[in-house]
Amino acid sequence: MEQIKKLLTFPKPFLTVYPRVWIVLFFVFVAVDLASKVWITDTLTYRVTEHQLENAVAGHVQMLVHGVGQINILGEEGKYIKLALVFNDRFVFGTGPAAPVFGLFLSLFAVIFLIFYRLHNPDFGPSAAWLLVFSGAVGNLIDKMFVKSLETGAWVFSLGPKPNHVSGVVDFVECIWFGWTPGYDMLSFSLPFFGTFRPLAWLAWPVWPLFNFADSLIVVGTCMLVFSMLLTKPQPEA
């Protein structure tokens, strides 16, 4: 009981840590993120992976084919930036195993943890940075609570897989990765029993992993928090 009381006791009032203008902007950012994702799923052709199709289809289903394959933003045929729809049912940058249910509850836990951490540490980092991180995290969390129909494109609330629907966060911004070319091979070397080792192989991606508006908010907000940590001078001990 004492631990619960301590957890629910905060150094500053809720509306001081999360002022009304902060809350309004939070809802605006989340709404923009979700609206952009709904627009994308209504506009672009679904691009699903083999495992997503196998997990989603129960019997025969008329695969949804509508709209266009991509929208070019910058460069010839979208060479530098384009919009193309995929569903990320994995983790950061599409890494790790496909685990939409685990990912949903992991995101829910992360949001709850961040809310309490911010309430207990109200002076840590700029408020704007937390606004961006929370908005992006909640936008993606809500996205994960909906599966998308392969037949109609409709968003259906579901905390787990559903037949004829695809799970995963809607990602749609594809940018060329101005990283290293395959010339990174010059930095490769061989290790006994392990074969060729290329420590910089990740710099040779042809494109950056697809992302969305929420991801951008999280990345910018996190960078702001990191920079604030680096620029904050430690207080001398009394």
Of the ranges 41-55, 116-130, 178-192, the best mean pLDDT one: 116-130
Residue 50's pLDDT is what?
A: 77
Residue 237: its pLDDT value, please? 52
pLDDT tens readout for residues 104-127: 999 999 999 999 999 999 999 999
**Model pLDDT for residues 60-89, shown as the tens digit of each residue:** 444 555 667 899 999 888 888 999 999 998
pLDDT category of residue 204 using cuts at 50, 70 and 90: low
Annotated active-site residue 185? The verdict is no
Confirm whether 143 is a catalytic residue: no
C-alpha triplet 9, 10, 14: angle, nearest 5°? 120
How much is the pLDDT for 60?
45
> In angstroms, rounded to a whole number, what is the distance separating the alpha carbons of residues 170 and 168?
6
Contact 186, 100 (CB under 8 A): no
* Residue 216: HSE in the Cβ half-sphere, 13 Å Cα cutoff: 14
Q: Which of 33, 89, 171, 185 is catalytic?
A: 171
The set of residues, in sequence order, having a beta carbon less than 8 Å from that of 210 and lying 6+ positions away, is 84, 86, 88, 94, 171, 172, 173, 174
Residue 98 tokens read as 């496909």
* Interstrand relation of 165-166 and 146-149 (parallel, antiparallel or unpaired): antiparallel
